[in-house]
Copies of this chain bind each other. A is one copy, B any other.
Amino acid sequence: MEPHATQQRPRLLVLGCGFAGFSLLRRLRLQAWDTTLLTPRNYFLFTPLLPSAVAGSVELRSILEPARRRLRHVRVIEGSAVSVDWSAREVTCRGAVGGEVFTLPWDHLVIAVGNTFADFGIPGVAEHTRKLYTVEEAQAIRRGLLEQLARAEVPGLTADQLRQRLTFVVIGGGPTGVEAAAEIHDLLEEELTQAYPELVPYAKVVLIEAQDRLLSGFDEALGTYTRRHFGREGIDVRTGAKVASIEPNAVQLAGGERIDCGLILWAAGNAPVPLIQTLGARCDGRGRLLADAFLRLPEHEEVFACGDCAAVGEPPLPATAQVAQQQGAYLAKALDDRRRGRTVAPFRFRAQGMLAYIGSGQALADLPLIKWSGRGAWFFWRSVYITKLVSPANKAKVLFDWIKAHLFGRDLSRF
């Protein structure tokens, strides 16, 4: 890359290395752009396997892909955007480790910063529950589970104390909550009997959902199937149950019931990250950036939004990995086509179906042509995930993790 070439190429700044940003950068003709990626972490995380990582079915390092290795010729800077200066075409940033403040200029800007949790104004959610968006959060939940096992080994506890420490509550009956509950239940079922047999009678998973059914985005029969399956497996499912408040080790339901527990996982809904509100751009009712059919912000020709932080379509597409991935891929082609003077077609989402693991070797597949549940769907779930994992390294590592867990059990080392 000579400096001359750099000057001629438009500066493309991508904020975020999730499904949207990463799939954009993997497909872009990088030689045509002077590309910078600003990301708070230096890897792409395959979020659909995060619930598995919580229970140690796969290792965290197996489901992430270092950005620099995969995105040669992209300048990667680890930091977060603090604000955007539209007239100067600059983003003010903060370094991810040292907190240094610096600016990055752009000719084209792609906002793909994902989202964070929504607490719906319920007291205690922010402070006393764990969320599941990042590697660090998944690690903390895994450690948290094992810490409760350690705390249950302390001599002289009452049965009530044991039950409290070994009750794990998952709030939110969408795919993340269902998969997390299933994986934690698998962990307790398969490992506790081996390593902590005396604790088995006290351990329990509770799944709480405010709506009357689980997995409202899936076909209704699959939601019903999951509920029955969880019932058989001993997961305590509460649908139509509203959370009034969260305390350090208890969930207070609106009906008056209180569930004492050792760990609370909050998977009940998404909200925009703080940056979005500072932009002064138009948003939908849920605070997501309104983007047109070409994923552009209406006010700014050269600014694009995609992934979980964007509202695209009417009604807006859901905040899923699949939507984000397709938007990133579309945007790569759209940017390259514009640069070459070609006509750009509007974005169109192609629904490929939905999958969810529901524990004990069963999964759901809600596909355009077929609704499927059980063990066969689980093999399908695994083969799809192996296919979707972004690199040969990821695929090999996840496969090996599955073999390891099968042969040697999950690793219950607490750290």
Contacts and interface: CB of A to CB of B under 8 A. Distances in A.
A304 B35 CA distance: 64
A139 to B, nearest CB: 7
A255 interface: no
A337 interface: no
B393 A68 contact: no
Interface stretch (A148-156, A207-215, A376-384): A148-156
**Copies of this subunit:** 2
Interface string A133-175: 0011001000000110111011110000000000000000000
Nearest to A397: B404
Interface majority SS (helix, strand, loop, mixed), chain A: mixed
A369 interface: no
A69 B412 contact: yes
B68 A196 contact: yes
Interface string A65-81: 01011000000111100
Contacts of A41: 413-415
A414 B139 CA distance: 13
Contact of A396 (B404, B409, B412): B404
Contacts of A60: 415
A98 B154 contact: yes
A351 interface: no
Contacts of A135: 413, 415
A207 to B, nearest CB: 25
B150 A68 contact: no
21 contacts: A41-B414, A41-B415, A43-B413, A59-B61, A66-B412, A66-B413, A69-B412, A77-B155, A79-B154, A95-B150, A95-B154, A96-B150, A97-B150, A97-B151, A104-B155, A135-B415, A136-B415, A391-B408, A393-B407, A396-B408, A400-B400
